[in-house]
Structure 1
């Protein structure tokens, strides 16, 4: 069991105060902005009468369902976590629903939720059933958060987590199991494909949902540590180190920034060939489908 460095005082109160402050800012934004109206106006841009769109949505949804089923049947997981009390690192082998504590597992759930709602909305449209406005709104909200989280997840896994696994010499073949591939790679691909094909009318205001879901995950992580498991899945979420408040802000802000980056791509004369090239190029830089030897990272 390895102990992380937390010298320099306990910044737990400052970290929690920072999270509460961000939450308060988000609440104020929702209260005093017209974000609800914008969502209502733009959410139907996700509608589609194409049978091809419905088929691939069903396919992507089925893959997500199978990935979740696989998580329950593939045996114990393998996670490096840190204890709340002493910030000591140890290996945890969760089973079943206890695996759904990682940020990447939330990405998978967002992908599942989005395509489920998209299928429901499109089926109702094809059957000429009156649309449920709030369901379209949720489709847009989950898409905005989901695509941002999936791109962030893929980036962090490829450029931070996997190199660190190689650096410490730990076996990380489990990072490329089926459900891990969906969480770390294909969720981003599925969301990107949906964006390029359906061409929704995205707005920069929707970046607020990146902050919101970032705070929600951090709050969940703290609830897990203080009232349930007694550990943090990610060492940077521990509230004691001096840099902890910055990491808390950084996680939530990163989701919003990734969304703004994706939104910017759609501003290049709409969803034209340039958007396709940029998104495909972006994906090629962040996904990784198989382990790479240590000398690749050391070179």
Structure 2
């Protein structure tokens, strides 16, 4: 799938918007020419088929992170296959939607946070496409694409949604919710929200040179808040359902803006591998290189 537009500008890109739906988001409303397709990857199968379609003329690809009906827990997600499948499908921009617990009084259930930082406390997951035979180190200093964040903030405010721009997402392993001690520890670190899914997703998107942003949708106050009950699935699901309706409205507003032809990412997300490969070309493992055809083909072909 080509990502080049017919514009006379030599660097113009016709974006393909990828959407990763978190808990409660298993479909996208309003897509035209919609079709669920199986996308195979060298890293195994993604969480589900991918939903292809167009919204306001913009090409979109949707992936339900946990699979339709939510059969896959956070630690068992094949994050590498998910990101590879989106890259292989031509996706240039990813909006990731994620249900989270709030760690701050001013971020109540139903509030949206456009994240700008992560602390990764997950430990049972494959976190890189690169391995022995082809080593790469990408920068994660600023892990989210500010261009997508700008669009998300503008459209969320235009819809009258409760939204905060900026915040740190603490990624825990799960599937259990936090202990009270853990919740208070994360608060002492200045974290805004806690969830289980956006790492290593964001790291892999950076390695695949895809612009990526997270909308964290607050479902509860975790367990630190003295005036609120400890987290239960029933309570989370009730808020999640109303969040999903607001998220769909946000997606419908954001996609046309993200789909406009543009130049290269000003933050360099689409050039993250430019100086990241460290293994000498003659020491690279051909088997691994073959698996990297989609995520790193741009730089490997130039090596």
Quick one: higher RCO (CA 8 Å, sep 6+), 1 or 2? 1
Larger Cα Rg: Structure 1 or Structure 2?
1
TM class by shorter chain equals under 0.3
TM-score normalised over the length of structure 2: 0.26
Higher helix share: 1
